[in-house]
Every structure is written in C-alpha cells, then in structure tokens.
Amino acid sequence: MTAFRVTDEIAGATRRLADAGIEAPRADAEWLLCHVLGIDRGRLLVADDLTVDAAARYRDLVDRRAQRIPLQHLTGSAAFGPLELSVGPGVFVPRPETEWLLEWAVSELPGVCAPVVVDLCSGSGALAIGIAALVPTARVFAVEKSPEAGEWLRRNIIHCAVADRCVAVRADVTDRHGALDALTEAGWEGPADLVVSNPPYVPEGTDTSVEVGWDPHAAVFGGDDGMSVITPMLPLIGALLRPGGVAGIEHDETTAPAVLAAAQMSGLFTEVTGHDDLTGRPRFVTMRRADAGAGEPRARMAE
Ligand SMILES: C[S@@+](CC[C@H](N)C(=O)[O-])C[C@H]1O[C@@H](n2cnc3c(N)ncnc32)[C@H](O)[C@@H]1O
C-alpha cells in the first residue's frame, strides 16, 4: 500500500506552489497540511502518514492555492495578533503589516480608565477585536460600510468572545453626520479616547498580487491618489475624539506625505506624526485632537 508521508507531501506541494509563483511556498504547503490534519504547525513533522482521504483533500487544496486563491480563503481563517479571524469572499483578509497599528493603539491605552475606541473601516474586525481582546477595559465600536464585510465582522465579534464590549456599526465613514447618528444608535455616548483606521488606500492602477484580486475592490483601492476615503474621514475623526484623544491611520507606502498634509491642513489635530515599520517603510500616521483648552485626558488613572 502507498504511504503518504508528511515530508514527501510537503516537499511535493512546495514544488508545486513554487512553480505557481507563490511567495512563501513551503510555509503555505505546511499551513494547508495543518488545516487538513487539524494540528498546529509545531506538530507537523511528528504527524502520522496521511490517509488516502486526507492526501486527496490536501492535494486538492494545493491545486487551488496554485491557482492563486489566497491561503486564508482556503483555510477560512486569518491570524492577526492574538486572534484567529474568520474570512472569506466579501471581506478583506487582514494583513500582518496592520499589526503595527494594533501595537501602537494598545500602547496608547494603559493609562486611560475604561477607554472608548472607534475602529473606522473595520472589515473582519482585525483592529477592533484585537484592541478589545488586548485591553479588557476598552469599549470598542467597529464601523463598516459593506453589508458583506459586516456579516464577517459580527461573526468574528461573537467567535472571539468580545460581544459584551465590541459593537458592529454599519456606516459610511466619509459621511460624518450619518456615521455619528449610526454610532449613537449603537450606544456610543461620548467622545472617543482613540480612533484607529485601516481604510482602503491603494491608488487605483497600482500593480498588486493576484491574491489581492480576491479582496473586495472597495476594501483595497482609495481612488486615483489613495486618499478618497482618508481625506473625507478626517472630520469624522475630529468629531469622535475628545480633546487630547489620539488617532492612527494606516496608508499606502507612497502616500505618507499626502496623509500628513491632509491631517495638518484639516486644522483639527496637533502632533501629526508619520511612523515607519522596522524595514523603514512608511506605515501609518498618528495625530492628537486639538481643541481650546485641550490636553487633559478624559479619565486618567492616578499617576
Ligand atoms: C483595507 S480594508 C481593512 C479592514 C480591516 N480594518 C483590516 O485592517 O483588516 C478597508 C475596509 O474599509 C471598508 N470601507 C471602504 N469604504 C468605506 C467607507 N466609506 N465607510 C466605511 N467602511 C468603508 C471596506 O469595506 C473594508 O472592509
């Protein structure tokens, strides 16, 4: 009887995926096999030989990955910070680079008592749910326009067990009054301490990988200059934040100067600052809400 050895299957799959132009063929081959076997990656090399049925399912998934269907659409989930989020058609697959913004957001909250957080353009809920999971005292509002993405968002809020502190809100972030009304209807009562956003920001016409074609177009592209959501979203951020509250917006590598200029020119913010990742790529811009008499945090714990 033929044995379907784990090492042979992974080697064959890696070759197949490399030939198809997959960026990390070995890693994808391993993740797909973990998915079929229902085990962690650390257990792969001590796993038993595959059954005929498991080998057939594995090879089918490898074939589909070779057609450039995203790994996360095949496994149905995406790792993001401490989370495993459900994803699939109709929702943007969260990317590892957004973890920089999550890390910054969480670092802003330790001194704030019962922080109120708003995530604009929430998608699967990566940032909103990530913050709710990492900061148990936070109350988080996750704003998303697309009904399809909103379904994934609601599902993830429940599966990640943060439904008592994280609320999905359907609204267009470029419509300040409409979004404020929708937030108020969802229970938002007062100013936010922190706003985060990973909006659609890729300039139209930019070359992207085949896999990006599986994300909804409106989740990825932000008009000819990448600013079609970011610029009109700024007045909403200004209206949401308390004086002294902070916001962070992820952007395209090419648009840091435009985001910095738009935030400065809005007249709503001080301390407008660009942030690079460890490879030196511009990743996100942060800002602090300015106002007459601003500066005192809403409810700081005793120093
Ligand atoms: C780049 S995805 C980011 C999703 C998620 N925040 C993440 O980091 O994985 C952008 C999201 O913004 C949503 N979106 C696009 N335009 C919007 C708008 N005008 N108002 C609210 N959401 C919008 C898209 O549907 C998509 O879910």
Residue 249 has pLDDT above 70, yes or no: yes
- How many angstroms is it from 30 CA to the middle of ligand 1? 30
192-236 pLDDT, tens digit per residue, is 999 999 999 999 999 999 999 999 999 999 999 999 999 999 999
Question: Is the pLDDT assigned to residue 302 strictly greater than 70?
Answer: no
150 lines ligand 1 (CB under 6 A): no
**Mean of pLDDT values over 84-92:** 97
The protein residue whose alpha carbon is closest to atom 7 in ligand 1 is 94
Residue 131 predicted with pLDDT over 60: yes
Known binder of ligand: residue 58? no
Mean pLDDT of 133-140: 97
Q: Please tell me the distance between residue 255's alpha carbon and the centre of ligand 1 in angstroms.
A: 17
Q: What is the 3-state secondary structure (H, E, C) of the chain?
A: CCCECHHHHHHHHHHHHHHCCCCCHHHHHHHHHHHHHCCCHHHHHHCCCECHHHHHHHHHHHHHHHCCCCHHHHHCEEEECCEEEECCCCCCCCCHHHHHHHHHHHHCCCCECCCEEEEECCCCCHHHHHHHHHCCCCEEEEEECCHHHHHHHHHHHHHCCCCCCEEEEECCCCCHHHHHHHHHHCCCCCCEEEEEECCCCECCCCCCCHHHHHCCHHHHECCCCCCCCHHHHHHHHHHHEEEEEEEEEECCCCCHHHHHHHHHHCCCEEEEEEEECCCCCEEEEEEEECCCCCCCCCCECCC
Which of 15, 39, 47 minimizes the C-alpha distance to 28? 15
127 Cβ closer than 6 Å to some ligand 1 atom: yes
Q: What is the pLDDT of residue 45?
A: 83
Ligand 1 in reach of 149 Cβ (< 6 A)? yes
pLDDT for 292 beyond 80: no
Distance from the CA of 123 to the center of ligand 1, in angstroms? 5
| Domains, the chain | 6-67 (1.10.8), 86-289 (3.40.50.150)
Query: Would the pLDDT of 295 be above 90?
Result: no
296 is in an annotated binding site: no
Q: Are 124 and 155 in contact (CB under 8 A)?
A: no
Residue nearest to atom 12 of ligand 1 (CA): 121
Q: Is the CB of 148 under 6 A from ligand 1?
A: no
% the chain with pLDDT above 70: 95
To the question of whether residue 156 is assigned a binding role by annotation, the answer is no
Average pLDDT along the chain: 94
pLDDT band at 1; cut points 50, 70, 90: low
Condensed to tens digits (0 to 9), the pLDDT of residues 21-70 reads 999 999 999 999 999 999 998 898 889 999 999 999 999 999 999 999 99
Task: Examine the pLDDT at 300 and tell me if it is beyond 60.
Answer: no
Q: What pLDDT band is residue 291 in, cutting at 50, 70 and 90? A: confident
> Which ligand 1 atom lies nearest to the CA of residue 218?
15
What pLDDT was estimated at residue 3? 79
CB 156 less than 6 A from any atom of ligand 1: no
Q: Distance from the CA of 193 to the center of ligand 1, in angstroms? A: 21
Is 50 exceeded by the pLDDT of residue 294? no
Q: How many CA atoms lie within 13 A of 94 on its CB side?
A: 33
Q: According to the model, what pLDDT value does residue 299 have?
A: 39
